[in-house]
Amino acid sequence: MMERRKVDILCVQETRWKGSKAHSIGAGFKLFYYGVDSKRNGVGVVLKEEFVRNVLEVKRVSDRVMSLKLEIEGVMLNVVSGYAPQVGCELEEKERFWSELDEVMESIPTGERVVIVADLNGHVGEGNRGDEEVMGKFGVKERNLEGQMVVDFAKRMDMAVVNTYFQKREEHRVTYKSGDEEVKDREENQVVEAEKGGML
């Protein structure tokens, strides 16, 4: 799929793979991943093999947060894969995730580029009144507590919730099915990007 769609870097969540490894997965791609339990969580980053030599650092923070630093054509790029706790999880677990993400961001020098691709398990809500600096108007549903955490993080880090800037067709808003019932819940996956210290 990555080859067909010409994707060079892909972040994955809910891998449920135990270990802290990197290995070739075929078709010219390598997977860097981290997980502590084969039953839950796990994050990873898949790279086109030609970019593996550009990897300068791999930070495996937890089974919910990891990052890769690459140098591509003189530009430092930090790719962060994250998987936030779901709505029913304890607040302490959610706060730990955001704290880990904050720590990763604070460790990145000013001027380096950052892309966070994460399943943030929150609804930032439709419209952007009062939050125009961090999101577009094409979110879905009402904002929930987890969505507020996403918006607060974006403001704190001077970043943007990119998937809210583009209108999606209804059929692209379904992220999972439960039996015969489609659950329209597009907004879990969010891409946040910026140059450290300013918007892109």
Look at residue 171 in the predicted model and tell me its pLDDT: 61
- pLDDT: is 42 or 176 the higher one? 42
Which architecture characterizes domain 56-195 according to CATH? 4-Layer Sandwich (3.60)
C-beta separation of 121 from 198 below 8 A: no
Look at residue 179 in the predicted model and tell me its pLDDT: 54
Pairing of strands 113-119, 75-83: parallel
Pairing of strands 43-48, 55-60: unpaired
Q: Could you tell me which residues come within 8 angstroms of residue 75 by beta carbon, excluding any fewer than 6 positions away? A: 113
- pLDDT: is 72 or 17 the higher one? 72
Chain segment 137-164, per-residue pLDDT in tens? 888 778 999 999 999 999 999 998 888 8
Look at residue 169 in the predicted model and tell me its pLDDT: 74
DSSP 8: S
> Helix 145-157 vs helix 91-106: angle between axes, to the nearest 10 degrees?
20
Q: Could you tell me which residues come within 8 angstroms of residue 69 by beta carbon, excluding any fewer than 6 positions away? A: 55, 56, 57, 58, 59, 76, 77, 78, 108, 112
Look at residue 74 in the predicted model and tell me its pLDDT: 95
User: What string of DSSP letters covers 12-32?
Assistant: EE-----EEEEEEEETTEEEE
Q: On the CB side of 184, how many CA atoms lie within 13 Å of its CA?
A: 9
pLDDT tops 80 at residue 166: yes
**What residue type is assigned to position 140 of the chain?**
V
